[in-house]
């Protein structure tokens, strides 16, 4: 895919998805500037390792997107053609214990970046939203036109707020904004707080795993390579409207029990399951209707869950200390 720009700011570029996006941009000859604060939501050494292989080919700014002065200075120092905004406090459950951190990072941070785009004439903005905005949506699969006013976690509220700021700035200042609702992304370098990461390690090592609920909750899992393709296609897309929302999912559902057996098959060991009650803020299921992304972006998720889990387990095994 030919990308119509030369220099891109990737926020959160040292994170799981961000580091893959940076690699994909570099491989297409795009100049990449990363801003990341390397916070300790999970071990910052993992973030350093995520970008170790590309460290010499990016401009790295260690800083916080909540710092409006820093963002202003960054936009004055560089002429960006596009912003891929992935930096955020991620995760539903921790957002319930510290909502303010989520609101300031995810909402104020997004505002700072869009406002800098406004003042510096940057016309292309990609925002990492989330399937969590759908809350307890009865209708499946979830379409971009479904109602989203019933979010059930602070994290989800910050993501829908971010979409609204994008809509405002797109309408008022002509910034092309694409809000991408990612559905549970997994693959190499996945955040260690996510279930697939914990399950794979624990089942391999014969440690018990925590299963919240009876195993019937279901998720639409998306392999990282598919997400990266979707992000790049959205960044390249400027037709029709200056504001678009796209679901990026695998377009299939897997129950928690099915996921556990897929991990068991991949690592060749049986899970020891510790069953716990459902967790607050967790939605019962997610399932993406990706027809809009297919139609407008040519998005086609290619990695089925069984294959993706196998690849992830192999990567985790190979990267163990």
Give residues in contact with ligand NAD (CB under 6 A).
12, 14-18, 35-39, 41, 47, 64-66, 86-90, 105, 109, 128, 130, 182, 184-185, 191
Q: CB 20 → ligand NAD: shortest distance, Å?
A: 8
Q: CB 16 → ligand NAD: shortest distance, Å?
A: 3
155 sits in which H/E element: helix 154-173
CA 183 vs. chain centroid, Å, equals 8
Q: Which residues are catalytic, by number?
A: 155
Give Cβ neighbours of residue 262 (< 8 Å, ≥ 6 apart).
254, 305, 306, 309
Q: CB 93 → ligand NAD: shortest distance, Å?
A: 13
Question: 37 vs 175, which CB is nearer to ligand NAD?
Answer: 37
Question: 63 vs 304, which CB is nearer to ligand NAD?
Answer: 63
Question: 2 vs 100, which CB is nearer to ligand NAD?
Answer: 100
What is the rounded CA–CA span in Å between residue 123 and residue 116? 11
The Cα-based distances of 212 to 257, 267, 275, 283, 285 in angstroms read: 11, 21, 6, 12, 13
Question: 53 vs 272, which CB is nearer to ligand NAD?
Answer: 53
Q: State yes or no: cis peptide before 141, omega within 30 of 0.
A: yes
How many helices and strands in the chain, by DSSP H and E? 12, 13
Q: Are 71 and 113 in contact (CB under 8 A)?
A: yes
164 sits in which H/E element: helix 154-173
Question: 95 vs 170, which CB is nearer to ligand NAD?
Answer: 95
Q: CB 36 → ligand NAD: shortest distance, Å?
A: 4
Q: Are 253 and 285 in contact (CB under 8 A)?
A: yes
Q: Which residue is nearest to ligand NAD (CB)?
A: 15
The Cα-based distances of 7 to 75, 119, 162, 215 in angstroms read: 12, 17, 23, 45
Tokens of 306: 């069984």
Q: CB 175 → ligand NAD: shortest distance, Å?
A: 18
């Amino acid at each position: 895919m030919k990308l119509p720009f030369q220099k891109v700011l990737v926020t959160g570029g040292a994170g799981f998805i961000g580091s893959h996006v940076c690699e994909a941009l570099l491989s297409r000859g795009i100049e990449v500037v990363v801003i990341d604060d390397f916070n300790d939501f999970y071990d910052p050494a993992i973030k350093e390792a995520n970008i170790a292989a590309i460290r010499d080919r990016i401009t790295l700014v260690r800083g916080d997107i909540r710092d409006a002065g820093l963002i202003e200075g960054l936009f004055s120092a560089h002429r960006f053609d596009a912003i891929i905004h992935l930096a955020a406090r991620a995760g539903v459950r921790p957002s319930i214990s510290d909502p303010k951190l989520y609101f300031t990072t995810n909402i104020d941070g997004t505002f700072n970046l869009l406002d800098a785009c406004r003042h510096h004439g940057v016309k292309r903005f990609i925002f990492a939203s989330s399937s969590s905005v759908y809350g307890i949506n009865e209708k499946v699969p979830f379409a971009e036109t479904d109602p989203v006013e019933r979010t059930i976690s602070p994290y989800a509220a910050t993501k829908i707020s971010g979409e609204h700021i994008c809509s405002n700035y797109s309408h008022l200042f002509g910034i092309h904004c694409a809000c991408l609702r990612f559905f549970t992304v997994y693959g190499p370098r996945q955040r260690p707080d996510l279930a697939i990461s914990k399950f794979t390690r624990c089942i391999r090592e014969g440690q018990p795993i925590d299963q919240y609920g009876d195993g019937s909750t279901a998720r639409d899992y998306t392999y990282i390579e598919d997400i990266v393709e979707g992000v790049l296609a959205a960044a390249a897309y400027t037709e029709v409207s200056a504001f678009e929302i796209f679901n990026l999912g695998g377009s299939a559902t897997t129950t928690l029990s099915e996921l556990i057996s897929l991990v068991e098959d991949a690592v060749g060991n049986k899970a020891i399951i510790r069953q716990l009650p459902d967790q607050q803020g967790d939605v019962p299921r997610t399932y993406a209707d990706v027809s809009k992304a297919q139609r407008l972006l040519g998005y086609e998720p290619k990695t089925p869950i069984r294959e993706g889990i196998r690849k992830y387990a192999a990567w985790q095994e190979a990267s163990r200390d």
